[in-house]
Structure 1
Amino acid sequence: MTLINKSCHFRRLIPENRKIQKNSTSYFYCLNEVIVKQAFLLKIMANELKSILATEADEHSHTYKDGEEVVLWMNTVGPYHNLQETYPYFSLPFCRGSKLAIAHYHETISDNLLGVDLEFSGLDIKFRVDVPKTAYCTLTLLNEEVDAFHHAIRNHYWFQMYIDDLPLWGIVGEYRNDENSGESMKLFTHRLFEIGYNGNTIVEVNLTSNNRIDLKPDVAFDLTYEVMWKPSTVRFHDRFDKYLDANFFKHRIHWFSLFNSFMMVIFLVTVVTFILMRTLRKDYARYEKDLKMDDFDRDFGDEYGWKQIHGDVFRSPSFPMLFSCLIGSGIHVFVLVIVVILITFWGELYLERGSILTATIFCYALFSPVSGYVGGCIYTHFGGKRWIKQALCCGSFLPLLVATAATIGNISALYQSSTRSIPFGTMASIVAIYALVVLPLTLIGSVVGRNMSGRPNNPCRVNAVPRPIPEKKIYLQPWLIIIGGGLLPFGSIFIEVYFIFTSFWAYKVYYVYGFMFLVTILLAAVTMCMTIVCTYVLLNSEDYRWRWASFLSGASISLYLYLYSIYYFIYKTRMYGFFQTTFYFVYSGLFCIFVGLMCGAIGYVATAKFVRRIYASIVRKPTLDYYSLIVLTNQSIVAYCKRFVANFSSDYTFPFSFFKDLQQTCSLQPQNVWNVLFLAVVLTGLRFMFVRFICRPLAKYWRLTAEISGKLPESLWNLTMYLFLWLNTCWTLVRTDRWKYFTDPLSIWSDFSRDRLIPYEVDVVYLTQTAFYVHATYGTIFMEQWRKDSKVMVFHHLLAITLLSFSWAARYDQVGILVLFLHDVSDVFLECAKIFKYLKFRDNTHYSFCEFLSNASFIFRLYWFPLKVLYTSFYGSVFLGPDDLPFIPVFNFMLWLLFFINIYWFHFILMLIYNLATGKFKELEDSRELENCNSEKHD
């Protein structure tokens, strides 16, 4: 029969004035406040964390006047070897002092979660007032009460007190078991409190227990106490230093373990880099050799290795929702660990009772969007549709793990009547935080991640039919690779784990959070290296199931941690009993799961970057320059000729077969052509009204000359149209997730499909652009003055109409929209420069606008256009796209013509800058000269 099973009987023997009833209504009041004022929940938690960081967590100010009352709080009592097995102090038949009872309200949720149960001692203690040895009560024990004390003394029960938030520990009694004298159990009845003060603050407390007596039923004895005050030189800020065991935590072995882990990381990173670079360099060389082979040699060569599975390596994993939830939760844990470590290190939270747990709850709720964002991005890349269910999974996975562990611990605590049982009010508060803060923030993060993730943008397309996985040797089995993946990460932290376990399961205060931060960074580095190695070994065995393998190989550290926790329980502790054993293994398992999730997510993220990098390197050319573009053009011509010869048949006749192919591949409908012509007529009418009702009144208002009045409307109209068209193109790029093509143009071909539907936003862009160039062709011939570059302008407009029609009809819109984006923005700058000249807006140097104009034209038309659009179109059509792309040689040829026209117009701008810089003319009064130099007739 345990002590707590008897405690209910003892409580009825203690007078009511010697007991303090818990005020449970405060919990319900807090719960009501949470529900009614849910908008202020995070603010309340932030204020609570702020109070922790300010080291003012208690309701007291920690300053006293002479003679002011100092409260001694009694906390818990329990077996020395079972740190978490605690019971209320007055569950033993102790008595209180004679002072009037006062209530103590828990200030943080962590107090209840940690089993803190403060009750007033009733002892009269005043600041700097010594108290001689004084009896505060007389006890006469019954047989059951004597048995309870004997049980406590035999099991080495200790108790904890608090004076001004400084803890004190004492032993209930003395136990001896000699072979000669037999078993002896004596109770300490006197307590000497030695309290050190510095000014008006308490900086040191010590407890000495003595006056041992034998316990006998129905024999009265006194419980006494004594208080001695003494001055101290300890500063208030340093008063907690005595509880920090520097000899234990800063022992040379701790430093040596950190140095050993660091050197292991350096060695491992070096070895991994060396092995992978050598191996990948050989693979890249072999792959470049394959590009020079013909199809027969490539198909029937002795090829093997990771690049053989490029068509399956980016296949979505099984159970994508669960996988994305695990990755999001793991990244959430990693962010939480880093932030809490830094906050604890900076704010010295270990000095205040329960402050680290409070900070953890606050930071977990605050960073809940991380889990939703990461999980939402990954799930969207896998093509998942049930995003609400996935968001709920991300927001509930970690709370359900904690709730499961807490429920098991709580049931065993309730069975033992331990203070470790969580009150209902605290559970309700935690549920309110989850429902009102964690879950909504996770949903917000998931929505943001889902909308910002874009398309997968994989370097290689996924085959429709999965490739069969070949049989592997025993040492290449995925389960063996997964188990081996966690060995070295565990080796980098197992010494630090010993210090962490000793702090949590024994009587040490962990305070070296600088060590913990460095160890966490080293753990992340080792985990990333090991998962990359494991994944490379798996891919090299032509097994494309790397996603789950990379996560599980990093998460396998939890297996080694749990095995170590079993070793620690057996050889490093003296725990016993059902409650303590259950509590130890449940929460050790929870700790291992959290570390496993964190390492698994870190490993997967690093491995995903690695996989994308190696597969992107074999399908993309890293060099982007004009020489490579010329070489690539030559290669593409050869490739086109080979394809034409291979597909040529004797019944092919030109132009009849050509138009037949055009009819089969063309996606334009007659209605599209009529829409273009109708819109071109509308634009012509709008231009007429724009010039008559807007431009001419403005010219009169500004008192412009007749010559300028005839040129300004043309530039204003062109500026209006180019700006509208360019903004519409930008909006379409963002709306259809095509902005990534600008930063990563070759990803166009990973998304390319001749059977896909063109978004209506893209149809609108092509409709308006084609109609405008039809209108511009008519305007150049019939509405504008004929100039020396008008022929080039007409040719440019016709070329633009042809390019737009081909890309629209053959579904090359992904390339075409980049062409429109790069050219229209340059046109906006050109028209602005001309308008500034007409209106005499020149308050800077004579050639400032021309210099800006030349930079814009060069960047957009002569740098980005050839190195992004031309390179993408040629390289993708030869190496990435399907072999039966219709009319791609014609399309690429017209792009080259457009590039030559850009060069032709750019040389006018350079001539203008040269003439201005050399002083050949100081003012461009001849507007026709400006028109020719700036090439007002441009696209």
Structure 2
Amino acid sequence: MKNMGDFPTFLVVGLLIFSCLSYVRSDASDHRYKDGDAVPLYANKVGPFHNPSETYRYFDLPFCSPDHVTEKREALGEVLNGDRLVSAPYKLNFKEEKDSSVVCKKQLSKDEVAFFRKAVDKDYYFQMYYDDLPIWGFIGKVDKEGKTDPSEYKYFLFKHIQFDVLYNKDRVIEVNARMDPHSLVDLTEDKEVDAQFMYSVKWKETDTPFEKRMDKYSMSSSLPHHLEIHWFSIINSCVTVLLLTGFLATILLRVLKNDFIKYGQDEEAADDQEETGWKYIHGDVFRFPKYKSLFAAALGSGTQLFTLTVFIFMLALVGVFYPYNRGALFTALVVIYALTSGIAGYTATSFYCQLEGNNWVRNLLLTGCLFCGPLFLTFCFLNTVAIVYSATAALPFGTIVVIVLIWTLVTSPLLVLGGIAGKNSKAEFQAPCRTTKYPREIPPLPWYRSAVPQMAMAGFLPFSAIYIELYYIFASVWGHRIYTIYSILFIVFIILLIVTAFITVALTYFQLAAEDHEWWWRSFLCGGSTGVFIYAYCLYYYYARSDMSGFMQTSFFFGYMACICYGFFLMLGTVGFRASLLFVRHIYRSIKCE
């Protein structure tokens, strides 16, 4: 990563942080109101509670809709997040109390009754935003009391919502919605039903300052029992990592010390003494790997994803991704990825030229498609599924055009500029030993020294350090739990990097000691193997820890998690290779090679 030190993209990314801090504000207004002022209330989406990706527009259900539905103008991140805000039929003017106000009277047809009953059976919930504060509620309930046969269940639709609003002077601080359990519409039978939808509003003063109105959502993930689990996870990871890595480090350092002493004695002894171990292959260890263009492209993409992750953590730690800041994370991901594409181009092309590659243009194209290609194909399939389901996860045509323009006008030019800068850097590969003309034959090795068993060993230790925290991440991304303890997550990420680097270095040494000089790809695969373990955890989480179901939710979960785990594979593979390269250069620089 030394070669990136002077690359100007870091300046661009630095400017990005400033832009993100101002861009992700939820609203441009000052959220101040006078008595009787209209406070914006938007209905967002509805969907099965256990299927977070399967959400629909609020008025896709036959609720009372106003004559003119006003859609809120949304940012890119909000659209990517599946938010589709429209004006709600309820009027909650500032400090105006209402008691059982009628929204509308409606006769539900048999089809509408069946539609609502199916939604109630799937635990449909709704989400709204009042002055940018989230509101949730279930649309109905199923009465199963004393009944074992599902055909005997009774289905009811809530028709009265009680809004409780807290205010401090001229600002809204908190809002809650309660469904009246006694105001119900019976949906059990397929027949026309008369429904009168109503709502009430109660206002109460509070001394909570406006700046802390989001604290209750942040505190939900930092309750004492949750923090105990998180810190137990950290302590458990640290103890495990220190014990295991300390054990391996002791062995490795002792063996290396003995190797240096032995090789020093060998040089002073007779020249005809046969060499064994890793020094024996000093003429092959820096032989360039096969598929050098693919290898350099993987390093470039992994370096970009590593940089992206670091900047996302920086934004998280300064408080940009506070709860329900709609679309902030997706906006940051798209913008930072676009602006860091130059890093991928520079790293890949520079390393490719160091490996004496000739077709740097093809290498640049491969770099640009290595991660984005699978992501694009996955998106096309899942977006088609969302269109078939008429879900809000389906991106509008205009949003797709915006993403294509970002790729065309920002990502691709920066990738090319980075590639040109990498080609012109004229850096040479620093190898302390000369490479012989013909490669040595690798001796036969036992099965457990092959690539797959080595990857299994390399991926297990880093995964064991993060698997407890993974549950909370999954419950936040694929559920309704709020995650805000980014400092703990950052510590876990640092532990992950350290363990990945160390275990890869250890396995690289044992591979070289067995006189296997093809360590380049092996170190990358071993470093990235944690991504395979994370995807295996996806299977466990889906079938054992979640209630997700249905083709759309299943395809979204496994499709996008495959892309995320692939990104982890590239990023951690890069970390593993870089650590191994530093180690190999160090040990061969420490001995005298002829």
1:36 counterpart residue number? none
Shift of 1:592: 1.2
1:183 counterpart residue number? 153
Q: Does 1:283 align with 2:250?
A: no
Aligned match for 2:326, one of 349, 353, 358: 353
For residue 101 of structure 2, what is the amino acid of its counterpart? Answer: T
Larger mean Cα displacement after TM superposition, 216-225 or 378-387: 216-225
Larger mean Cα displacement after TM superposition, 388-397 or 609-618: 388-397
TM-score, structure 2 normalization: 0.93
Aligned match for 1:226, one of 191, 197, 200: 200
Shift of 1:574: 0.8
Aligned match for 1:213, one of 181, 185, 200: 185
SS across alignment from 2:484: coil
Aligned match for 2:385, one of 393, 407, 412: 412
2:102 counterpart residue number? 135
Q: Does 1:380 align with 2:353?
A: yes
Distance 1:219 1:87 in 2: 24
2:234 counterpart residue number? 258
- Structure 1 pair 483–43 and aligned structure 2 pair: CA distance change class (3 A): closer
Query: Which structure 1 residue ranges, 5 or more long, are not aligned?
Result: 1-40, 620-878, 881-939
1:458 counterpart residue number? 431
Shift of 1:287: 1.2
Shift of 1:327: 1.2
- Structure 1 pair 358–263 and aligned structure 2 pair: CA distance change class (3 A): same
Distance 1:249 1:551 in 2: 38
- Structure 1 pair 287–48 and aligned structure 2 pair: CA distance change class (3 A): closer
Shift of 1:487: 0.7
SS across alignment from 1:58: coil
Q: Does 1:49 align with 2:25?
A: no
Q: Does 1:529 align with 2:502?
A: yes
Distance 1:129 1:454 in 2: 70
Shift of 1:101: 4.3
Superimposed CA distance per residue, residues 821-857 of structure 1 (whole angstroms, 9 cap, x where no aligned partner): xxxxxxxxxxxxxxxxxxxxxxxxxxxxxxxxxxxxx
Shift of 1:124: 2.1
SS across alignment from 2:526: helix
1:91 counterpart residue number? 60
Distance 2:448 2:21 in 1: 53
- Structure 1 pair 46–536 and aligned structure 2 pair: CA distance change class (3 A): closer
CA contact (8 A) 1:369 1:444 kept: yes
Aligned match for 2:297, one of 317, 320, 325: 325
Shift of 1:163: 0.4
Aligned match for 1:102, one of 41, 51, 70: 70
Distance 1:58 1:443 in 2: 36
For residue 105 of structure 1, what is the amino acid of its counterpart? Answer: R
Distance 1:66 1:504 in 2: 39
CA contact (8 A) 2:121 2:142 kept: yes
Distance 1:568 1:384 in 2: 43
For residue 194 of structure 2, what is the amino acid of its counterpart? Answer: A
Q: Does 1:153 align with 2:120?
A: yes
2:559 counterpart residue number? 586
Superimposed CA distance per residue, residues 439-475 of structure 1 (whole angstroms, 9 cap, x where no aligned partner): 2112222222233252213111111111111101222
Distance 1:545 1:196 in 2: 66
CA contact (8 A) 1:482 1:534 kept: no
Q: Does 1:58 align with 2:31?
A: no
Aligned match for 1:436, one of 399, 409, 414: 409
Q: Does 1:499 align with 2:472?
A: yes
Q: Does 1:124 align with 2:91?
A: yes
Larger mean Cα displacement after TM superposition, 65-74 or 243-252: 243-252
CA contact (8 A) 1:203 1:235 kept: yes
Aligned match for 2:368, one of 388, 392, 395: 395
2:172 counterpart residue number? 202
Distance 2:23 2:193 in 1: 48
Shift of 1:384: 0.6
Shift of 1:604: 0.4
Shift of 1:249: 7.6
Q: Does 1:618 align with 2:588?
A: no
For residue 177 of structure 2, what is the amino acid of its counterpart? Answer: L
Q: Which has the higher helix share?
A: 1
CA contact (8 A) 1:268 1:526 kept: no
Distance 2:380 2:14 in 1: 28
Distance 1:470 1:435 in 2: 49
Shift of 1:77: 0.7
Distance 1:534 1:122 in 2: 63
CA contact (8 A) 1:97 1:124 kept: no
Matches within 5 A, 1:816-895: 880=594
Q: Which has the higher strand share?
A: 2
User: Higher relative contact order at CA 8 Å, sep ≥6: structure 1 or structure 2?
Assistant: 2
Distance 1:534 1:248 in 2: 40
Distance 1:43 1:353 in 2: 23
Shift of 1:45: 7.3
Superimposed CA distance per residue, residues 128-152 of structure 1 (whole angstroms, 9 cap, x where no aligned partner): 1112211111110111111001101
Q: Does 1:243 align with 2:212?
A: no
Question: Identity percentage over the alignment?
Answer: 36
1:449 counterpart residue number? 422
Matches within 5 A, 1:701-720: none
Distance 1:613 1:472 in 2: 25
Distance 1:248 1:333 in 2: 33
Superimposed CA distance per residue, residues 755-790 of structure 1 (whole angstroms, 9 cap, x where no aligned partner): xxxxxxxxxxxxxxxxxxxxxxxxxxxxxxxxxxxx
CA contact (8 A) 1:350 1:509 kept: no
Shift of 1:234: 1.8
CA contact (8 A) 1:96 1:123 kept: no
Matches within 5 A, 1:341-740: 341-351=313-323, 352-619=325-592
Superimposed CA distance per residue, residues 55-102 of structure 1 (whole angstroms, 9 cap, x where no aligned partner): x3324332212211012111111111111110111111101257x643
Distance 1:74 1:235 in 2: 26
For residue 50 of structure 1, what is the amino acid of its counterpart? Answer: L
Superimposed CA distance per residue, residues 258-293 of structure 1 (whole angstroms, 9 cap, x where no aligned partner): 012122333344223322221111111121122123
Shift of 1:595: 1.4
CA contact (8 A) 1:96 1:136 kept: no
Aligned match for 1:272, one of 228, 248, 257: 248
Superimposed CA distance per residue, residues 472-531 of structure 1 (whole angstroms, 9 cap, x where no aligned partner): 122222332122111101011111111100111111111011011111111000000000
Distance 2:404 2:13 in 1: 14
CA contact (8 A) 1:249 1:499 kept: no
2:7 counterpart residue number? none
SS across alignment from 1:65: coil
Residue-pair matches, total: 573
CA contact (8 A) 2:16 2:336 kept: no
Distance 1:523 1:218 in 2: 59
Distance 2:547 2:452 in 1: 35
CA contact (8 A) 2:71 2:85 kept: no
Write out the 4+ residue segments of structure 1 that deviate beyond 6 Å after TM superposition.
41-47
Q: Which has the larger radius of gyration?
A: 1
- Structure 1 pair 180–267 and aligned structure 2 pair: CA distance change class (3 A): closer
CA contact (8 A) 1:160 1:169 kept: yes
1:304 counterpart residue number? 276
For residue 137 of structure 1, what is the amino acid of its counterpart? Answer: C
2:39 counterpart residue number? 70
For residue 117 of structure 1, what is the amino acid of its counterpart? Answer: R
